[in-house]
Chains A and B, each alone.
Chain A
Amino acid sequence: MTITDITADVPAPRSGEDSGGKLLDVRDLHVEFHTRDGIAKAVNGVNYSVDAGETLAVLGESGSGKSVTAQAIMGILDMPPGKIPQGEILFRGQDMLKMSAEERRKIRGNKIAMIFQDALSSLNPVLSVGYQLGEMFRVHQGLSKKAAKAKAVELMDRVRIPAAKERVSDYPHQFSGGMRQRIMIAMALALEPDLIIADEPTTALDVTVQAQVMELLAELQREYHMGLILITHDLGVVADVADKIAVMYAGRIVETAPVHELYKRPAHPYTRGLLDSIPRLDRKGQELYAIKGLPPNLLKIPTGCAFNPRCPKAQDICRTDVPVLEPVTEQDGSPLPGRGSACHFWKETIHG
């Protein structure tokens, strides 16, 4: 059922021009927004990477910077007011931030595609679904109108839209929410990209449809051997499909871990708090644990660890020193691959 096993033997990336091994490597990325009220620091030094065939889940609440990071990768950030003062986004070893607009445009859609939360507003209401799907082939591959339409039907079949041939000329509003999300996925898949960024792809959908769409996405990823960045606030969705998780808070990654490890033994008080604050489906609990306070104001991020005003473990050092993302080890010092925590007291959190 889950797709975690596919990482057991990660084959070499599809394309040969592989430098540095990583499909996408984000290094020390900073993004800020200049607003009337001051500079909002949305992303403050994010590092993460995805391999081909791998699913990275970026978990965070609103204002954590998870979507802004994705927009920076896609190059669809509004600038101004947005600004990237620092950082690198390496796609197959090449820094996309140093590319020309034309080069980036070629990568966008072709190599990296994005799926948005709201399929209805992401599709053009006055063009038929078939036309919008075919557009990718006409623009990027110069196919004829007829050939593009045939391709569109093929894509709709692939994302399992029933009666694709009959429905190819329908308009977006004639499809249900789940079907529209499938069309969005078909669009992202059209040019067989190497990497898909899915920003809350199922948040707007009902639970039963959510399950269908997530399964489709996982299956297609396996089939095409793509990298997938799944951006979400839902700890449940993440548990189902991700290989590894990066938890974001106030524009920083506070914890990284393989999916099983994170739920079993969180190494950051924020992650622990989040896990404890979700009610269980399989038994009736007592009072919920609630993380006190509010998410930080990005115009005035607390000094030291951004989580310190809400943290039950906070000490003086947390208010002065920014904790860096350190590798997390077992009690005896043996390494835990893929795990990291940006907490001064990660040892106490994971082992205590």
Chain B
Amino acid sequence: MPDLTKTSSASEEAAAVAGSTPVITDAGPVPEKPRSLGADAWRGLRRNPLFVISGLLVLLILFVAAFPGLFTSASPTIGDPAKHFLGKPNLGHVFQEDWFGYDGTGRSLYARVLYGARNSIIVGLGVTILVTIFGGLMGMLAGYFGGFWDSLISRLTDVFFGIPFLLGSMVVLNAFTHRTVWVVMGALAFLGWTQITRVMRGAVITTKHADYVVAARALGAGTRRILFRHILPNAIAPVIVVATISLGTYIVAESTLSYLGLGLSDDSISWGSDISDGTQFIRNFPHVLLFPAGALSITVLAFIMMGDAVREALDPKLR
């Protein structure tokens, strides 16, 4: 009985939302093949140039973050200040050590940009995953059970919303002397989960009154089945959208903290600290600032664009 137990794949779950049918519903298309809402959204996404461009960029960035060594043999940490002090970029030397020039300690900027992607992506992805799981669970708890749990969690999110995100993380990170990616990740997640909680809570409250949830209750379905089979798949879409977009902002946050000297410790490579280093040479050697800053901007833009495209695909009202 494979068809009764089969659930749609995770990516489909993520990319689906209620009611993506066209306006002329009753006369609407009844195609030959089974077509889930997720598949519909995916079809829409594939045809969206914004998604194709941002998606390819994101893939490229992820690949670079995973295997920076494939793109260069130069070391990002060891430079020769005597030989390459603030060397100008050589734009003709594509993929070569001196493509982007050198920084103040003679390190290849090209290698710095490539290796810097890893930390940015790890922090961004890590925070997003932590926040989605924890914030999502809290939101589900508050939205579904209501009453005491809702009051408690909602007041807690109010408290966290009162703390400025960056200022709060600076205070937290200040308590650590050696700041690894995990520490930064934890600090950002600690302060960022409330956004997802709010989104999830709202989505769960709307979904839990849907007729199909009432129908499941009438059949005698238990809480777990109702939550994970009926509510979660239908409430997850806005969470996915918010998570994708905020991934970009977490990367920015990490860079900002590193720029301020409160992010990753000096021995790890980060676009933020490179930007910080670059500012002292901005007049005569703008390239030292420009390349890490450009990499950061492109990465953030790619994630936000992808979030926008996903939102458009999941929300038929925006069509």
In the complex, A touching B, CB below 8 Å?
Answer: yes
Q: Which residues of A contact B (CB under 8 A)?
A: 33, 35-37, 40, 42, 61-63, 250, 295-300
CA gap between A300 and B29 in the complex, in Å: 8
CA gap between A163 and B44 in the complex, in Å: 53
Q: Residue on B with the closest CB to A64?
A: B27
Contact with A along B234-269 (1 / 0, CB 8 A): 000000000000000000000000000000000000
CA gap between A37 and B28 in the complex, in Å: 10
B75 CB to nearest chain A CB (Å)? 50
Q: Residue on A with the closest CB to B47?
A: A36
User: A62: which of B27, B29, B44 is its contact (CB, 8 Å)?
Assistant: B27
Q: Are B24 and A63 in contact (CB under 8 A)?
A: yes
B28 CB to nearest chain A CB (Å)? 7
Q: Are B30 and A297 in contact (CB under 8 A)?
A: yes
Q: Residue on A with the closest CB to B44?
A: A36
B49 CB to nearest chain A CB (Å)? 15
Interface residues in B41-55 by Cβ distance below 8 A to A read 43-44, 47
Please give, as numbers and ranges, the residues of chain A lying within 8 Å of B32 by CB-CB distance.
none
Please give, as numbers and ranges, the residues of chain B lying within 8 Å of A40 by CB-CB distance.
22, 24, 27
User: A298: which of B27, B30, B43, B47 is its contact (CB, 8 Å)?
Assistant: B27
CA gap between A250 and B24 in the complex, in Å: 11
Tell which of B25, B29, B43, B44 has the most Cβ of chain A within 10 Å. Answer: B29
Q: Residue on B with the closest CB to A78?
A: B23
B41 CB to nearest chain A CB (Å)? 11
Please give, as numbers and ranges, the residues of chain B lying within 8 Å of A62 by CB-CB distance.
25-27
Interface of A is mostly: loop
Total interface residues on B, using CB and 8 Å? 12
4 extra A-B contacts, CB within 8 A, seeds A33-B23, A250-B27: A62-B27, A63-B27, A297-B29, A298-B24
Q: Are A63 and B22 in contact (CB under 8 A)?
A: no
Q: Are B26 and A63 in contact (CB under 8 A)?
A: yes
Please give, as numbers and ranges, the residues of chain A lying within 8 Å of B47 by CB-CB distance.
36
B158 CB to nearest chain A CB (Å)? 26
Tell which of A33, A61, A63, A300 has the most Cβ of chain B within 10 Å. Answer: A63
Q: Are A42 and B29 in contact (CB under 8 A)?
A: no
Per CB-CB distance, the 8 closest pairs between chain A and chain B, nearest first, are: A63-B27, A62-B26, A298-B27, A63-B26, A35-B22, A37-B29, A297-B27, A295-B27
A307 CB to nearest chain B CB (Å)? 13
Q: Are B29 and A33 in contact (CB under 8 A)?
A: no
Please give, as numbers and ranges, the residues of chain A lying within 8 Å of B23 by CB-CB distance.
33
B29 CB to nearest chain A CB (Å)? 5
B5 CB to nearest chain A CB (Å)? 31
A35-B22, A40-B22 known; A296-B44 Cβ under 8 A: no
Q: Are A42 and B22 in contact (CB under 8 A)?
A: no
Could you list some 9 contacts between A and B, CB below 8 A?
A: A36-B44, A37-B29, A42-B24, A61-B26, A63-B26, A63-B27, A297-B27, A298-B27, A300-B29
Please give, as numbers and ranges, the residues of chain A lying within 8 Å of B44 by CB-CB distance.
36
Please give, as numbers and ranges, the residues of chain B lying within 8 Å of A42 by CB-CB distance.
24
Q: Are A37 and B22 in contact (CB under 8 A)?
A: yes
CA gap between A297 and B22 in the complex, in Å: 12
Please give, as numbers and ranges, the residues of chain B lying within 8 Å of A297 by CB-CB distance.
27-30
Contact with A along B1-29 (1 / 0, CB 8 A): 00000000000000000000011111111
